[in-house]
Amino acid sequence: MTPSDTAPHSADTDIAANLAEVQAKVADAARNASRDPADITLIAVGKTFDAASMVPALSAGQRVFGENRVQEAEDKWPALRDQFPDICLHLIGPLQSNKVRKAVEVFDVIETVDRPKLARALAKVMTETGRRPDCFIQVNTGAEDQKAGVLPEDADAFIAQCRDDFALPVVGLMCIPPVDEEPSLHFQLLAEIARRNGLDQLSMGMSADFEIAVAFGATHVRVGSAIFGTRPKPA
């Protein structure tokens, strides 16, 4: 698929109802873990769906969204921002160094900082533009070859490098657990790396496991299909 190739959501998908249900589940999971529901930000992941599919969520008051491709976000969000200026857009997909300038322009938060070359490029563009999106460091908690993210054993040094050498605004950590493993072990590992590095934001948990992630301290959950429906194409 080309990056900007998006599709409408299915007519049977009631986005506002799905959103309300996910919000309620996040709040329940927070209360069950003796946490304040207000401490958890729901990121609605709109990837592969078109701009019109975002409107029911926006009309219901949702303002925090996630996209995994820079080009798709650039095609979809500027017009929506004209209508809803307080949108907060998170990049949750891999970022190539040659798209850093665009990403800093389009996104408010970049969750996938995972290597020195990218960190250096982000620092350069932030200095030049004065725009400083919050950064999460992505950790490859399952050490999967095909997955982005810094390895757990390299995380402390990379976090220090991002902060000290590149002066990036690092606010937290993000992970995507292996699909076939118990996610709680990965959420626990991410929380531990964050704790020992003095970071208090944790982006973890997707449609299948966001309640578990909340139990393990997620401050941000990234939920796509449970809100917008099954994606029409792989992303």
Ligand X SMILES: *Cc1c(COP(=O)(O)O)cnc(C)c1O
Question: Cα separation of 2 and 119, whole Å?
Answer: 26
Q: Between residues 30 and 45, which has the closer beta carbon with respect to ligand X?
A: 45
* Chosen residue from 204, 206, 213, 218 binding ligand X by CB under 6 A: 206
Do 3 and 71 form a contact (C-beta atoms < 8 A)?
yes
76-80-81 Cα angle (round to 5): 115
Do 210 and 25 form a contact (C-beta atoms < 8 A)?
yes
Residue 176 binding ligand X, by CB under 6 A: yes
Q: How many residues of this chain bind ligand X (CB under 6 A)?
A: 14
**DSSP, residue by residue, 161-213:** IIIIIT---EEEEE----TTS-HHHHHHHHHHHHHHTT--EEE---TTTHHHH
Residue 224 binding ligand X, by CB under 6 A: yes
The contact pattern for ligand X, residues 81-100, with x = CB under 6 A and - = no contact, is -----------xx-------
Residue 220 binding ligand X, by CB under 6 A: no
Q: Between residues 143 and 160, which has the closer beta carbon with respect to ligand X?
A: 143
Residue 13 binding ligand X, by CB under 6 A: no
Using CB under 6 A, which of the segments 18-26, 164-172, 186-194, 219-227 binds ligand X? 219-227
* Chosen residue from 9, 47, 69, 90 binding ligand X by CB under 6 A: 47
Using CB under 6 A, which of the segments 9-17, 51-59, 76-84, 203-211 binds ligand X? 203-211
- The token duo for 141 is 């908690």
Shortest Å distance, C-beta 119 to ligand X:
19
* Chosen residue from 6, 68, 201, 219 binding ligand X by CB under 6 A: 68
Tokens 């982006």, located at residue = 203
CB count in 10 Å sphere of residue 35: 17
Tokens 């709109």, located at residue = 46
* Chosen residue from 161, 215, 225, 232 binding ligand X by CB under 6 A: 225
Do 131 and 104 form a contact (C-beta atoms < 8 A)?
yes
Q: List residues near ligand X by CB under 6 A.
A: 45, 47, 68, 92-93, 176, 206-208, 222-226
